[in-house]
Each structure stands twice: as C-alpha cells, then as structure tokens.
Amino acid sequence: MTAALLPPWPVAGPLAIAGLLLAGGRLLPRRGPDVIALLTTLGVAAACILLAIGAADGPIVYWFGGWTPRDGQAIGISFRVDLAGASVASFIAGLFTITLAFAWGYFDEVHAHFHVLMLLFMASMVGFCLTGDVFNMFVWFEVMSVAAFSLTGYELKASPLSGAVNFTVMNTIGSYLFLGGIGLAYALAGSLDMASIGRVLANAPASPIADAAFVLMATGLLVKAAQVPFHFWLPDAHAVAPSPVSVIFSGVMVALGIFGLTRLSFAMFTGVPAVMAVTHTLLLGLGVASVVVGGAMALLQRHLKRMLAFSTVSHTGMLLVGLALGDRAGIAGLLTYLAGHGLVKAALFMVAGILLALCGGVDEIELRGKGRQIWPAGVAMAVGGLLLAGAPIGLMDDGLSSLAEAAKAAGNVWLLPVFAFGAGSTGGAVLRATGRIFAGLGPVAGIEEQSPTEQEQEKADRSFPFMLVCAVVPLLAVLATSHRVDGLAERAAVQLGAVAHKGAPVSSLLAWSGVAFALLLAGTGLWHPALPRPVLKTAKFLVRPLAASLSYVHSGAVCDYVAWLVVGLALFTAAFALV
C-alpha cells in the first residue's frame, strides 16, 4: 500500500477497534483487550512511520470521500500529512505502546473500558496531528479531551474526581473559545480548510476578525497546553490521574496544544502581520512565564506527581518559546524537545507509578529512604532528573540547543538563563526527591506539616522488573536517538514553512549550567538545615513571600482558574491593541 492511501487508517482503524471492543469486550478472554489494544497501537505506529517516510518529499493531502476542492473552494475534509504531523503521530503511537505495556493487566476490572478510552485517546491525537481542516481539528481536540476527562477520574477517589472537574471545566471553556475562533475564521474566509483560510487571510486587508479568531483559537490551545495563565488545571489533573494516564498526559497531550498552535500559525496566520507580531512578543512572554512559574512550583512540591506536573508546565513553556521565535531552528527545536521531554517525562511518571504500586505513595517526605530496596528505579529517576536539567546528551539536549540557537539568532540572549532556570529547577526538584526517596539523603523531616494528600496506592500486580524495563525504555530511546533526530526535525520545520535565520551554535555552557543549578538546588533542598544560619535566614526571607504568593495563586478552586483565563484574554487584547 502506498503512503497516499494510508492517512485514514491510523485514525479510523483504532476507532473501529474501540467500538468493537466496547460492543464485545466482555466476550474476550481476560487478557484479550490488552493484546488487542497493544497490537492496535503497534499498527498505528507502523502506519504513522510509513506516512512520515511518504511525507518526506512533501505533504500528503488526502480528501475524505474524494471531495477534492472545486474552483478553489474546499468542500470536504482533508488530511494534510506533513513530516512534522506524521512524526509526532508516530511518537504518540509509540508512547501509547509503551504505556499500554506498562499498564498491562492494571485495569481489568471494568471490562475493556480502559482500553476503549485509550484507543479513542490515541486515535483522536493522531487525527489532531494529521488533519488539514480546522473544524475537524476541533472534533479531534474534543474527542481527546473527553477521553482525557474520563481517564482522569478513573480511580473514583476524591482528589482524582475534583482534579477531573477542574480539568473538564477549564478545557471545555477552552474548546468553546476555540470553536468561536473557528466561527470567526469561517465568517471571514468562507472555508474550513486551513490552507484556504491561510490564503484568504494573507490576501485580505488586515481585519480585527482575523486577530480575534487567532486569540480565541490560541486561548483554547494554550489551555490544553497549560501555559501561564491558563495552566492551573494541569497539576490538579496530572497529579491524580492513574500513572499510565499521567504518562500520556504529560508525555504528549499537553505538548499537542503547542503543536496544534504551531500548525495553525503556519497554515493560517503567517500572512497576518499583527498575529505574527503578537506571536513574537506575547506568546514569548507567556512561554517564559510558564518556564519560570512551572520551575518554581516544581521546586515547592513534595508530592512527586504534582512536582512532575509542574515540570511539564515549565518544559511546555520552552516549546511555546520555540514557537514564538518561529524560525527554522526554533521549530526544529520545538519538535525535538517535544519528543525528548515526552520520553523523559513518561519514564519519570512510570517511576512514580512504580513507587505508588510498591511503596504505597509518592510523597517525598513520607517515602524518605523507603526506595532503597528498589534502587534501580532510583537510578532511572536520577537519569531522568539529569536529562530534565539539560545534561548535554540525548534528545532533550539537542532540542534545547536548537532553541538556544534560535534565541541567539533572534537577539534574545536573555532567554538562555531562562532555559537554564527552567531545566535546572525542574531537574533539581526531581534529583532532590530521588536522593531523599532512594538514598534516604537529608535529615529526617521533623516539623514538616502533614502530607496534603489522601492515601494513594496503585495495584501492585505487575512485577517490579517488568515495570522498570518499561520505564527504562523511553530513557534509552532518548539517549540512543541523540543527534539522529535533528535532521528530521529541521526538514519538518522547513516543510511547515519556517525560515532559517543565521545563528551561531551555542556552547555547551548552557547545558552544564542547567545541571550545576539542578545539583545546587537539590543539595540545598536536602541539606538546607546545615547551611550557616545567616544564609538560611536570608534565603528564607527571600523565598518565603515568593512561595506564598505562588501557592496563593494556585488555589485549586476552579472559579479562580476561570478568572485567570479571562485575564489571559485581556492580555491578548492588550497585546493586539499595542502592536
């Protein structure tokens, strides 16, 4: 089969299988749904890789129902499979494969419902990456959301349920705004095909409708991407979802918000100067704010999954910075970093899952020293922490170098310390937790307040070596693909339409400063009582108010989050008024 006929398969195939699983799941033998779901993800991965190979020479455009455009008017829906979309889709399918392997046998109580939801989740993500039609994108966006909402509350405990409510309310408002943006674009351009809309917008005189369409769509996608000030729902949801689900959430779902925005920007808005100006300024600012806030909040957490969730905010902020820079190196860095971060974060959430299954919790303080018996998981976690911190090896480092190169080319050298802060603080938080949990480092916590979480435990029916292998595979993938993906990402960026800027390569100083910062933070976090008294006092004096105000803002009440969402809309309005 040639790649030109392949596009519907990786989306409609898993959908049909999910439908059959729901209808006949209870007729299958006990491990039947596991096997079928795993085979399906493998099939989708293979199809997406074939698509990526086929798209290397140029995007594959597939018109559903054979409805090719007439007289320039698109009347059907197209998949526009480019190198970037197909590569990200392959990555998604691969991540689902390893996650389903990790979750093997974990969810077998309610028939095949978990597998049905996971297959729908994957199919919608792949559809989101491949589609060339903006309303079709909304449909997959929404299927993805509905699957995610259901999976978050799967455990039926109080925290997962209220996390799921916050997640659902925020993302639903986001998707209605997204749909409103589609309505405005349709009013202006009379089409739903991204490429057609892009042509119309580029040739039309500047119109506030185009700006408003961008604002609404961008807000919808930034809510999904959990960027400041739309990010509040993420830690609530990611921290409490079942670990295999968190792997997907932090590994790829959040980053898809940025990827979707990238596709929309390049397909529809490159010809609108005001939108481009706002992209280069406001989105850059929001990205930087996310990097900083996410990093600082990660440091303040003791609940491991919540820490990882905030780290996802921080690293997704780097992706947004890549999009805001928007040149070839920035977009290539975005794509590489997306894959690298997704894999590392997947591994870390799997380690958290191992802790939940074997040690009965993920609270850093409570688990002090309890991970000694399963020290190999600690090694995996330490490697993950170092990679987050920007250790100069592997996919994440490749991506970060590209991003830094783009920042330098755009004259924004001040971004480099921001990157180092984000990488260092998130990596430092993870390293600190590793040291405490797996090596029992640091003094025994005395007057630390009680753990803010309820009893958490995940089923311990999988063997430790098996789970560990699942967690190590993504890390090995990150290391093994070092310097092998750059070329692919660069070609994908070219295909999207990103222009090259002349930039100088960045020295490895950035990577090392991130790692050094992380080690410093981890050490301080573990042994801060040993510091000289005046130093400690000054540090507390400086950090306390910051930490308090950050905690004040991250209140957990969904009403606050919605107010902040409107503040975000106000920021966009102001930005468009100023450019």
Partner 1 sequence: MTGWLDVLPWAVAAWLLGIGLYGVVTSRNVVHLIGCLSVVQGATYVLLLSVGFRTGGIAPVFYAKPPSTSAVDPVTHAMVLTDVVVGATVTALLLALVLQLHKRRGTLDPEELRPMRPK
Partner 2 sequence: MSAATPRGMSPRMRLVLFALAVLAVLPGVVHVAGHMPQFGAHPLPYGDAINAAAPPERHVTNMTSAVNFDYRGFDTLGEEFMLLCAVTGVTVLLRGGRGEGTAGRPGRTGHRPVLPRTDAVVLTARAGAGVLLLFGFYVALHAMTTPGGGFQGGVILASGMLLVFLGDGYAAWRRVVRSEAMDACEGLGATLFALCGFAGVLLGLPFGQNILPLGTIGDLFAGGLMLVENAGVTMAVGGGFLVVFIEFLEETRVVPGADER
Span 137-176, contacts to partner 2 by CB under 8 A? 139-140, 142-143, 146-147, 149-151, 153-154, 156
Between 508 and 555, whose beta carbon lies closer to partner 1?
A: 555
Tokens standing for residue 17 = 């299988």
State yes or no: residue 15 binds partner 2 (CB under 8 A): yes
When asked if residue 212 is in the footprint of partner 2 (CB under 8 A), the reply is yes
Cα–Cα distance, 366 to 444 (Å, whole number): 10
Of 203, 444, 449, 541, the one binding partner 2 (CB under 8 A) is 449
Q: In this structure, what DSSP letter does residue 73 have?
A: B
Q: Quote the CA–CA distance of 321 and 284 in Å, as a whole number.
A: 5
Q: Which does 551 bind (CB under 5 to 8 A by kind): partner 1, partner 2, none?
A: partner 2
Rounded Cα distance between 60 and 66, Å, is 14
| Binding-residue total with partner 1 (CB under 8 A) | 50
* Contact flag: residue 220 with partner 1 (CB under 8 A): no
Q: Between 207 and 453, whose beta carbon lies closer to partner 1?
A: 453
Cβ proximity to partner 2: between 450 and 463 the closer is: 450
Tell whether residue 375 is a contact of partner 2 (CB under 8 A).
no
Binding mask 103-132 for partner 2 (x = CB under 8 A): ------xx--xx-xx--x--xx--x-----
> What residue type is assigned to position 455 of the chain?
Q
Question: Distance between CA 446 and CA 194 in Å, rounded?
Answer: 58
CA gyration radius for the chain?
23
Per-residue HEC secondary structure of 262-313 comes to HHHHHHHHCCCHHHHHHHHHHHHHHHHHHHHHHHHHHHHCCEHHHHHHHHHH
Q: Can you tell me the distance from the alpha carbon of 23 to that of 432, in angstroms, rounded to the nearest whole number? A: 47
Is the Cα dihedral 179, 180, 183, 188 positive or negative? Answer: negative
CB 421 within 8 Å of CB 291: yes
Q: Site for partner 2 (CB under 8 A): how many residues?
A: 93
The pattern of x and - marking residues 130 through 149 that bind partner 1 according to CB under 8 A reads: -----x---x--x---x--x
In the structure encoding, which two tokens stand for residue 224, read together?
């999904």
Give whichever of 309 and 498 is closer to partner 2, judged by the CB atom: 309
Structure tokens at 307: 């820490």
In the complex, minimum distance from the CB of residue 296 to partner 2, in angstroms, rounded to a whole number:
12
512 binds, among partner 1, partner 2, none (CB under 5 to 8 A by kind): none
Candidate residues 44, 62, 226, 310; the one interacting with partner 2 per rule CB under 8 A:
62
Pick 24 or 369: Cβ nearer partner 2: 24
Count of C-beta atoms within a 10 Å radius of residue 437: 29
Amino acid identity at 83: L
**At a CB cut-off of 8 Å and minimum separation 6, what does 411 contact?**
none
Query: Which positions lie near partner 1, rule CB under 8 A?
Result: 135, 139, 142, 146, 149-150, 153, 156-166, 168-169, 172-173, 175-176, 179-180, 182-184, 186-187, 192, 236, 239-240, 303, 306, 450, 452-454, 555-559, 562-563, 565-566
